[in-house]
A = this chain, B = another copy of it.
Amino acid sequence: MIQWHPKHIPIERSCSSAKKIQYAPYTILSGGFLLLIIIGAALLKLPVATYEPISWVQSFFTATSAVTVTGLVVVDTGSAFTLFGQLVIALLIQLGGLGLMTFAIVTLIALGGRIGFLEKVVAKEAFNQTDSSTLIATAKSVIIFALTVELVGMLILAMYWSDELGWQTSLFHGFFYTISAFNNAGFALSADSLIPYVSDPVVNITITALFIIGGLGFSVWIDIKRKKRWSKLTVYSRLMILGTIALNSVALIAIYLIEQDNPNTLANLSESGKWLAAWFQAVTPRTAGFNTLPIDQLEDSSTLMMLMLMFIGGGSMSTASGIKVVTFIVLLLATYSFLRRDEQVLAFNREISKESIKKALAITMISAGVTWLAVFLLLLTEHAPMLDILFEAVSALGTVGLSRGLTSQLTSQGEFIIIVLMFIGRVGPLTLAYILAAPRQKKLRFAETKIAIG
């Protein structure tokens, strides 16, 4: 069994080879996404992709938004892009969402080639598997699972829409919305997202089911399939499931209570419509990006709640982004354990490793720092209220795709900043920082000091 963490790399390795191995997975991941974005942007710039020509910035923005499964749009997907353009977008979403890694492995298997050390490391990082022997099985499971769920979702939506749209269009809509929802992309075929279906139970339940399943993360589903019983699940899976239920429940009740008298959102809906709309808006910030209510009409307190949910995001190794639900839970548990003066941070009678806590701290600091810097820069380039800018930046970094309407009014500098945020958000703030920071082997141990904090 090969251990990934560099402290397990034997000291006698030469520095340059150690470096190459350390950089490789992140470089490949980032490079792969970048390549996919460039190809996508070129395809979307083709005359056949749009009814009216779009600019390079617009095609790059759209390709980045699709590959990073964000869903922010500068041109309306439904009216600006042809069927070809929409297919390209759907393909970019699927490739981006499931990750290049899965496809790389499948390709290798299909070609009958051996998987080298490098690919194993890459895949291990992607699926968070520590046992490389189960890797190929895992990759297969992921693909089969994803395609099965998508097929079911597509059939439900296509059948449901067939009366309204005719079978050809409804099939394509079912295909497009399923891919967009399962991959938490949030791309819609109309400018008002799913607002027309605000009280529609079939659309609400199917779409939210798709993006919650996708956003929970494959590792949890694989774990459930293997272990069957709650007590046998990994600590990670249990934290993720409980965290998802807790966040969704709190958000549902808060949004219902806050918005019930707002005439621009819930007030004029039926009681069941109110709950459906509150539910949809409660779960979409993590990080689906569809909406059935006008986001800019929500009360500021709901908006603040959405900002927090978008920052947290979904599950690790999923189609969602953000700092991740379990990262947030680990921060809470570490705080709680400090207040109780516990030496260990516990979850389900297991200690959460110091390495995990450090990683949670690092990823949160970097995300907060990137968000702060982006908002600072956007305040210099855009003329818009701070809240709209903050919402846009958090949405882009969390690859959420919700907007208070700023996206279409961005300056070209603003568009560039959002493109960068979406890319960082998907590749992972930590991954990018890993690449930038030069790792070094420490030989000396230093004495410890306690210093005043707070």
Contact = CB atoms under 8 A, between A and B. Distances in A.
B350 A338 contact: no
A453 B363 contact: yes
Contact of A386 (B7, B300, B376, B379): B300
B341 A362 contact: no
A354 B354 contact: yes
Interface string A435-452: 001111010011111111
B379 A304 contact: yes
Contacts of A316: 452-454
Contact of A339 (B339, B356, B433): B433
Interface string A53-73: 000000000000000000000
A343 interface: yes
Interface in A265-314: 299-301, 303-305, 308
13 contacts: A236-B451, A299-B379, A300-B379, A301-B376, A304-B372, A304-B386, A326-B452, A331-B361, A331-B365, A351-B449, A352-B449, A356-B450, A386-B387
Interface in A23-41: none
A341 B9 CA distance: 12
A359 interface: yes
Interface string A328-360: 001110111111111110110111111111111
Contact of A454 (B376, B430, B454): B430
A351 B300 contact: no
A445 to B, nearest CB: 7
A387 B379 CA distance: 13
Name the 8 nearest CB pairs between A and B, nearest first. Answer: A316-B452, A339-B437, A338-B362, A301-B379, A363-B454, A236-B451, A350-B449, A359-B453
A366 interface: yes
Contacts of A303: 386
Contacts of A352: 448-449, 451
Interface in A381-428: 385-387, 428
A51 interface: no
A323 B365 CA distance: 14
A250 to B, nearest CB: 12
A332 B358 CA distance: 11
A376 B305 contact: yes
Contact of A350 (B330, B353, B439, B447): B447
A5 interface: yes
Given A356-B450, A363-B454, A385-B385, 7 more contacts: A7-B341, A236-B451, A236-B452, A326-B452, A349-B446, A351-B447, A351-B448
Chain A interface, >50% SS class: helix
Contacts of A339: 362, 430, 433-434, 437
A216 interface: no
A452 B350 contact: no
A52 to B, nearest CB: 35
Contacts of A262: none
A122 interface: no
A422 B337 CA distance: 26
Contact of A448 (B258, B353, B359): B353
A376 B339 CA distance: 24
Given A352-B451, A375-B304, A451-B236, A359 B341 contact: no
A42 interface: no
Nearest to A346: B446
Given A308-B372, A336-B437, A344 B445 contact: yes
A210 interface: no
A404 to B, nearest CB: 11
A108 to B, nearest CB: 24
A251 interface: no
A446 B361 contact: no
B327 A453 contact: yes
A395 to B, nearest CB: 15
A340 B449 contact: no
